[in-house]
Amino acid sequence: MALAHDNKAALDLYQDMYRVRQFDSMASKLFAEGKLAGNIHTCIGQEAVCVGACRAVAASDFIASTHRGHGHCLAKGGDARLMMAELFGKATGYCHGKGGSMHIADLDLGILGANGIVGAGIPIAAGSALASRIRKTGEVTLCFFGDAASNQGSFHEAVNMAAAWKLPVVFVCENNLYGVSVEIHRVTSVPDIAERAKAYGIPGTVADGNDVFSVLAAVTEAVERARRGDGPSLVECKTYRHHGHYEGDPQAYRSRDEVEKWKRRDPIVRLRAEILSGGMAGADEMAALEAAVDREIEAAVTFAAESPWPSASEATTCVYATDNDRSVAR
């Protein structure tokens, strides 16, 4: 992997992955302490996918995210403070507290939005690619979705259209083996989700979702193809979530052994070891980098905790562009 030998790039990837890990670990902790409400879906264990994939695109490119979206958002440049404030439901959050964890969007960063409806982001991503094509502006859109989302009709419909029209979109499946409690092979008869590419005549590849270089390479190839005008690809990244489906999930559906096995393949531990053993950075440098990220996350929490709540009047704004009072009244 060319990039693996580029020290700066490897450290950047590590930093991004570590940031995602620390953000979601913090969210998990805050939830356990009763400081966050609602549903929190962490991507702890899956950091190589969001970071590897987002590194394959430019700032001007777009991503569509999912309910498990903190990592996508951070990897595409999201501000941890505004994200944390959104998780708290504060006025300073990305969505002024109105969206919460599952609805963060920032078009300036190319983040089309997370989504609480499994599979709904897939046509939206394809539509973004259609917009790039109509405008001839050259952006590529990355579409993240889970293994289980690939069983939604929206997956089929959107991938079919993207393939038929050769739209510049890359479908990145984060296969963490489960949709909530349901092991994917109990409800899907192909061994790899990537097989499904054959139904649309597009490339389907499998990446090691716990190896950021594997993800980066596979997605880079797909992005180049899309950028050339040759249409979409499906990249399946095999990975695993260390936590439950949501925080608080008792996880009776999977064995401790399975979880332990995957934890031994932790993508962050692995990259850290590669960096150190490859001499790309020293232990001190790594510790400093980690400390800086830790401070960033702490600062995000402080920012969020100290931020004001949205005022009551915010409940009725932003339903429409204008004329909210009238439209909300009737």
Partner 1 sequence: MRTINYGKAISEAMHEEMLRDESVFILGEDMGVMGSVFGLTRGFMAEFGADRVIDTPISENGFVGMAVGAAIRGLRPVVELMYVDFAPLALDQIANQAAKMRYMTGGKVKVPLVVRAPGGAGRRNAAQHSQSLDALFTHIPGLKVVAPATPFDAKGLLKSAIRDDDPVVFLEHKFCYAMQGEVPEEEYVVPLGKADIKRPGRDVTIVAWSRQVIFALEAAKTLAAEGIEAEVVDIRSLVPLDFETISASVRKTHKVVVVHEAIKRGGYGAEIAAQIMEELFDWLDAPVKRVAGLNVVIPFSPALEDAVFPHVPEIVAGVKEVVR
Chain residues binding Mg ion by CB under 5 A are 146-148, 176, 179
Residues numbered 67-96 forming contacts with partner 1, rule: CB under 8 A: 89-90, 93-96
Using the rule CB under 8 A, which residue among 13, 20, 48, 148 binds partner 1?
148
Q: Which of 44, 286 has the CB closer to Mg ion? A: 44
Alpha-carbon torsion (219, 225, 226, 228), positive or negative: positive
Using the rule CB under 8 A, which residue among 151, 175, 214, 239 binds a second copy?
151
The one-letter amino acid code at 284 reads D
Q: Which of 82, 184 has the CB closer to Mg ion? A: 184
Using the rule CB under 6 A, which residue among 176, 205, 220, 239 binds ligand TPP?
176
For residue 182, give the 3-state DSSP assignment: strand
Residues numbered 48-67 forming contacts with ligand TPP, rule: CB under 6 A: 67
Read off φ and ψ for residue 121, nearest 5 degrees.
-75, -15
Selection from 30, 27, 31 nearest residue 19 by Cα: 27
Read off φ and ψ for residue 89, nearest 5 degrees.
80, 30
Q: Which of 94, 155 has the CB closer to Mg ion? A: 155
Q: Which of 81, 245 has the CB closer to ligand TPP? A: 245
Residues numbered 279-318 forming contacts with partner 1, rule: CB under 8 A: 309-310, 312, 314-318
The set of residues, in sequence order, having a beta carbon less than 8 Å from that of 189 and lying 6+ positions away, is none
Binding segment toward a second copy, per CB under 8 A, in 60-68, 148-156, 246-254, 284-292: 148-156
The 197-236 contact track toward a second copy, x by CB under 8 A, reads -xxxxx----------------------------------
* 8-state DSSP, 185: G
- 212 C-beta neighbours (distance < 10 Å), count: 31
Strand partners, 50: none
Q: Which of 120, 259 has the CB closer to a second copy? A: 120
| R_g of the chain, CA atoms, integer Å | 20
Using the rule CB under 6 A, which residue among 179, 203, 209, 244 binds ligand TPP?
179
Which residue number places its CB atom closest to Mg ion?
Answer: 146
* 8-state DSSP, 3: G
In the list a second copy, partner 1, ligand TPP, none, the entry touching 189 (Cβ below 5 to 8 angstroms by class) is a second copy
Q: For the residues of 109-172, what is the DSSP string, one character each? A: GTB----SSTTTHHHHHHHHHHHHHHHT----EEEEEETGGGGSHHHHHHHHHHHHTT-SEEEE
Q: Which of 115, 220 has the CB closer to partner 1? A: 115
Alpha-carbon torsion (308, 311, 316, 322), positive or negative: negative
**What does the alpha-carbon distance between residue 283 and residue 217 come to, in Å, rounded to a whole number?**
27
Q: Which of 54, 148 has the CB closer to Mg ion? A: 148
285 binds a second copy (CB under 8 A): no
Joined together, the tokens standing for residue 113 give: 């939005």
183 binds a second copy (CB under 8 A): no
* 8-state DSSP, 92: T
Which residues in this chain contact a second copy in the complex, by CB under 8 A? 151-157, 160-161, 163-164, 186-190, 195-196, 198-202
Which residues in this chain contact ligand TPP in the complex, by CB under 6 A? 67-68, 116-118, 146-149, 174, 176, 178-180, 245
